[in-house]
Amino acid sequence: MQLKKVTITLKHEDCWTSDIEDRTVTLNLEVYPEKGYLRSWLLAPSGKFGREFRGHNSVKKVNRVLEAKEYSLIDFLNIYEGSVAGILYNMEVLILGNYNVAGEETWSFVTGKTTLNEVRGMLSSIGEVSAFLVEDYLPKFPFLTDMERRAFSLALNRGYLEYPREVEAEDLARILGVSKVTFLYHWRNAQRKIMKFFAEHYRP
């Protein structure tokens, strides 16, 4: 198989991650190479991001910090040049996820078999690699029937998931040309399959 899933762990000394001992997870990553930064949404333990994080050389700007009881959600800009995300983006891999713990970054991404050595070489040039796992990339998706997809898409796009709801089940059933009971049956099946899929396959 030509497509490979790579999971690499490295310590990147010039990054803010080298100073963080607690586990953090990147929830969203937006890359702006032309502006010289990347934007991250980070999930971290509450109270762990003080002056040291905000003042780190690799952190361009902290946009906002949303505090919850146990976790913080941090929206910040990171310097693009020399970052792991920047290198991966430049090498045109498909980034799947990232988390950091005990001063090390772990990244998962998909790339071609022929570029593995090049990618590893580039990442090794900016940090000490402690783990490099390669496996066949087998994309997995929850299988929904045609009616389940239609019910889910309609509910999502018409505001059935909003609070308060913008549309009722009877209205969606009428659009689909089925009874309310039939709509709810397919809607709940779709929900169950999607939640089960993420519970089994999502590993931050």
Tell me if 141 is assigned to some domain. no
pLDDT digits over 141-174, tens only?
788 888 999 999 999 889 898 888 899 999 999 9
Q: How many CA atoms lie within 13 A of 64 on its CB side?
A: 2
Domain's final residue, options 101, 116, 136: 136
Residues 150, 115 share a domain? no
How much is the pLDDT for 8?
96
Average pLDDT, the chain: 87
Amino acid at 89: Y
pLDDT digits over 46-82, tens only?
766 655 677 788 899 999 888 877 888 889 999 999 8
Domain's final residue, options 136, 158, 183: 136
Kindly indicate the confidence band of residue 7, based on its pLDDT and cuts at 50, 70 and 90.
very high
- Give CA torsion, residues 118, 124, 126, 129, to 10 deg: 140
Q: Domain containing 102: what range?
A: 3-136
- Total tally of structural domains belonging to the chain: 2
Residues 175, 90 share a domain? no
How much is the pLDDT for 1?
56
Q: Report the alpha-carbon distance of residue 178 to residue 184 in Å, rounded.
A: 10
Q: Which DSSP string corresponds to 77-122? A: EEE-TT-HHHHHHHTT-EEEEEEEETTEEEEEEEEEGGGHHHHHHH
Residues 101, 12 share a domain? yes
Residues 187, 125 share a domain? no
* SS3 label, residue 153: helix
Residues 169, 71 share a domain? no
